[in-house]
Structure formats: C-alpha cells, structure tokens
C-alpha cells in the first residue's frame, strides 16, 4: 500500500522519470505524480506512432480476483461474456449499475487458470466488493503492488526483443505471456491504449528499475529511439485509436447526480460488448429493456473539415440549425492531418446523421473567431494500422 497521507506518491519508476523530465510538468493520476509532458507533446506523440514510447502504467487501478467463483463473479460484473476467456488472454470490458448505465471500463486479464486481473479507469473496490456478495471470491487492490510499463509504437517489438525479452514473436494481440528478464519474473501482454503495436509489462515493484534500465539500455546502445511520454500525448493517441475515457468523455453512473446524464453502453457505441444471452449480470434487465427502445442519443466519432480543433464545441444538425449535442473529446491528429472528436449527440429521426456541423470558437491573434466546420460521422476508429494486429510483428 502506498502512503495516502502524501498528496502525490512516487511510482517505482519515479527516479528515472524525474531524471528524464525536461519540463517538470506533472499531473496527478490516481494518487501518483505522473508526467503530463516530458519533453514536447509532438516528440512524444511521434514516439508512439513512429518509433517507441514508454509510459509508466503503475497508477492504473488494478485488482487481483481469485477464488472458486472468480469467473462467475466477473461474468456477473461485466456486460460482456468473459466466461470463455482463456488463461493467457485479455479482453476489454465495461460494467454497469443496476440501471444499465456504465460505471467504468477496463480490461480483464486471465493471468493463469482462475487468477484474474481487472484494470479499471477509476477506483472500483467498493463496487467490486458489493458485487461480490454471494460469490466465493477474493478481491485485492494491487495497484500499488504491481509496477507496470506500457511500451508502444512500431518498434516496440524490436526494442523489447533487444532488451532481452524473448518469445514475443508468437504473442498475438490480447495475449499474455509470463517470462523472465535478467532473472526476475515479468508478465507481458500485447495490450495498450494507443491503437498501435505495443505491449504492457508487469512486474514486482522491486524489479521496476531493472526493467526500465533494460529497455532504455537499447536506446543507449544507439539501436532505437525510445521516449518516455506523458498524459498529453496519450490523450492524442487514444482518441485516434477510438478509446473512450469514463469520467471525461461521459459521466460515470455512480458519480452522476441528475437523472439522464449517465449513459448505457448502447449510447456509448459499445453495444457490441453487451451480451444479453449470457447468464444474469448487473444491469442486464435494464439493458434488455433499453435494447428494445429506439436509441435517442449516441457517442459518435467526428472527422472535421479544416484545421480548427473543436474545443468545447456544440454540434448542430446543420449550420445555424438545431443543437444536437457537444464535443466530449477532441484532438488534432498529426498522422491523419485532420481534426477529430467524440461527440455526444441526439439522433435525428432515430438515425445517426452522416454529417453534422460543428460550431468552433478559436483565437486568431488572441481575437475570438467563429468557424462552422462540416464534420463526417464515422463508426470506425480513426487510426488502425495493420502493424497493430499482425503476428509476428514486423521488425524495424
């Protein structure tokens, strides 16, 4: 357990992160001091898309779920059927409250037979505990007991192989392998929050610095560029990849105050996760009922015309038309050379519109200007390179 009397705790990688930070620009993430920007956002962004990025993943909420009913517990918790998730596999999940409104999202790691790790965006111990009533299951918060690094980018496979981690050539997306590096145990999963080729590495905190050094040794040897990245660059790549952030892109169910401001998976375009044919899970009856009703609103992806970024923009059915929603997350996508956004919009006549108008306020020489941008609605991730999914990955 880390000491919660300290406002921001250092992660096991803290010494190395501080040494690399050019900006000392920090954010707090789940109680840890986390870099917002290490050097420049642009160089960090391109590390993910063009070479190799490293990010400290330790602050992410992690729970170890074990016991005879671990599988049944997880399957009752989440909307997706995870009963067939094999040991050594990972899957993306969301979970809902009784009313079928999304509480949080995360990933379930089936580490070994009957041993699971649940990663979550927000603290979930209370929800997991109350969901465990009637199940013979043990739920341990292990956020502070596991050091984790995310290594992402086209050269991540080559970098990790050079660092001494062998066997990655057969690791498929969402696979987990348990291996060794310099005599200590590490777990490697081919997962990430960037939509690119990438891996997440998990180990005991005492091995954290050795793991770090083994990776950055590859850079020292002059083989590959490797860059530590911060949250700002991550925000850009995760939007490109089509990943949503509970609590930022939409209200999480157990924190929302007013009725109707929380969202079902259907409204978040996550209906594909909901399995109404599996045994009962929290929110199933509500979701089955919601599924019979026509959808009223949806989180959609927008690709905008022009170079203006739709910060805090309202969405209209057409220029000066009806306000149908607002932008929830946005970014300039350097790799697409387009402005992209997620918007929470009402459907028009029960249909997702093919295009919408975005009212963008921007500054020119500090003077505020209004710009109407046409935006195309897309249902695919903005960025899905082939290298993300091919096995073995290309060695660069």
Partner 1 sequence: MTKNLSAIVIGGGHNGLVCATYLASSGVKTTLLEARETLGGGLSKQTLRDGTAVPGLIQTHHSLNDKIARELKLQSTPCEPLPTTLLSTSGEHITLMGDKVSGAGVSARDISEYRAFREEYLSYGKALKSLMLNTPPRLKHFDWSDKTVFAKLGLDLRFGLGKAGLNEFLRVAGMNLFDVLEERFSSELLKGGIAADALFGNHAGPKTPTTVLPMLMRLFQETGSTASRQVAQVDNLAGQLAEAAKSAGVEIKTSTTVHSVVMDNDKPTGVMLENGDILNADIIVSNADAKTTFLKLVGARNLDGMFTHRVTKTRTNGDVAKFFATFDATPKFTNLSQNASSGRFLVAPTLMYVERAFNHCKYGEFSEAPVLDIHLTTLDNGKSLLSANAMFAPYNLKQGWEAGRAAFEDKILDILSLYAPGIASQVACRELWSPTDIEKSFHIEGGHWHHGEMAIDQSFMMRPVPGAGQYGTPVPGLYLCGAAAHPGGDITGLPGRNAAKQILADLKGRR
DSSP letters, 229-241, are: --HHHHHHHHHHH
Least Cβ distance, residue 134 to partner 1 (angstroms): 3
Out of 107, 131, 158, 313, the residue judged to bind partner 1 by CB under 8 A: 131
Best CA proximity match to 78, nearest among 121, 128, 33, 32: 128
User: Could you tell me the smallest distance in angstroms from the CB atom of residue 277 to partner 1?
Assistant: 9
Nearer residue to partner 1 within complex by CB, 133 or 370 = 133
Of 288 and 390, the one with the shorter C-beta distance to partner 1 is: 288
Residue 108 contacts partner 1 per CB under 8 A:
no
Q: What CA–CA distance (Å, rounded) separates 268 from 54?
A: 29
Does 119 interact with partner 1 (rule: CB under 8 A)? Answer: no
Q: What is the nearest approach in angstroms of partner 1 to the Cβ of residue 127?
A: 7
DSSP letters, 269-282, are: T-GGG--TTSSP-T
| All residues at 6 or more sequence positions from 130 whose CB lies less than 8 Å from its CB, including other chains | none
Residue 174: CB partners within 8 Å, gap ≥ 6? Answer: 89, 90, 91, 189, 190, 191
Does 282 engage in binding with partner 1 (CB under 8 A)?
Answer: yes
List of residues 6+ apart from 84 with CB closer than 8 A: none
Binding positions for partner 1, 18-57, rule CB under 8 A: none
Binding region for partner 1 (CB under 8 A) out of 108-116, 128-136, 346-354, 369-377: 128-136
One of 36, 49, 76, 101 touching partner 1 (CB under 8 A): 76
Residues 372, 84: Cα–Cα separation, whole Å: 48
Q: Which is nearer to partner 1, 84 or 129 (CB)?
A: 129
Please tell me whether residue 216 binds partner 1 under the rule CB under 8 A: no
Per the CB < 8 A criterion, the answer to whether 238 and 194 are in contact is: yes
Q: Which of residues 287 and 358 has its CB atom nearest to partner 1 in the complex? A: 287
Residues within the interface to partner 1 (CB under 8 A): 72, 76-77, 97-98, 127, 130-131, 133-135, 259, 279-280, 282-285, 288
């Amino acid at each position: 357990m880390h000491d919660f009397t300290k406002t921001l705790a250092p992660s096991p990688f803290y010494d190395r992160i501080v040494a690399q930070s050019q900006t000392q620009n920090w954010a707090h993430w789940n109680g840890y001091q986390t870099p917002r920007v290490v050097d420049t956002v642009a160089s960090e962004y391109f590390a993910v898309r063009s070479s190799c990025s490293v990010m400290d993943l330790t602050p992410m909420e992690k729970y170890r779920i074990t016991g005879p009913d671990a599988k049944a517990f997880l399957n009752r918790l989440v909307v997706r059927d995870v009963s067939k998730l094999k040991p050594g596999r990972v899957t993306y999940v969301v979970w809902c409250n009784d009313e079928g409104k999304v509480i949080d999202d995360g990933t379930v790691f089936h580490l070994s037979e009957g041993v699971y790790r649940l990663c979550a965006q927000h603290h979930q111990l209370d929800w997991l505990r109350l969901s465990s009533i009637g199940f013979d299951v043990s739920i341990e918060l292990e956020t502070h007991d596991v050091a984790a690094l995310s290594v992402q980018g086209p050269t991540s496979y080559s970098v990790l192989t050079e660092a001494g981690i062998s066997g990655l050539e057969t690791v498929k997306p969402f696979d987990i392998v348990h291996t060794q590096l310099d005599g200590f145990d590490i777990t490697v999963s081919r997962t990430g929050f960037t939509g690119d080729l990438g891996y997440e590495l998990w180990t005991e905190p005492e091995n954290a610095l050795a793991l770090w050094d083994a990776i950055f040794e590859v850079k020292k040897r002059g083989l590959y560029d490797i860059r530590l990245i911060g949250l700002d660059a991550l925000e850009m790549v995760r939007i490109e990849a089509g990943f949503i952030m509970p609590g930022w892109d939409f209200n999480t169910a157990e924190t929302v105050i007013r009725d109707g401001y929380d969202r079902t998976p259907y409204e978040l375009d996550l209906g594909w996760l909901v399995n109404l044919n599996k045994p009962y899970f929290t929110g199933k009856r509500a979701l089955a009922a919601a599924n019979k009703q026509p959808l009223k609103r949806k989180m959609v992806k927008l690709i905008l015309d022009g170079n203006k970024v739709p910060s805090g923009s309202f969405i209209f059915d057409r220029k000066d038309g009806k306000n149908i929603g607002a932008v929830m997350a946005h970014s300039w996508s350097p790799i697409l050379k387009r402005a992209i956004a997620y918007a929470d919009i009402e459907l028009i006549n029960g249909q997702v519109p093919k295009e919408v108008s975005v009212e963008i306020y921007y500054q020119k020489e500090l003077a505020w200007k209004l710009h109407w941008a046409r935006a195309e609605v897309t249902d695919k991730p903005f960025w899905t390179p082939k290298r993300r999914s091919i096995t073995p990955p290309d060695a660069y």
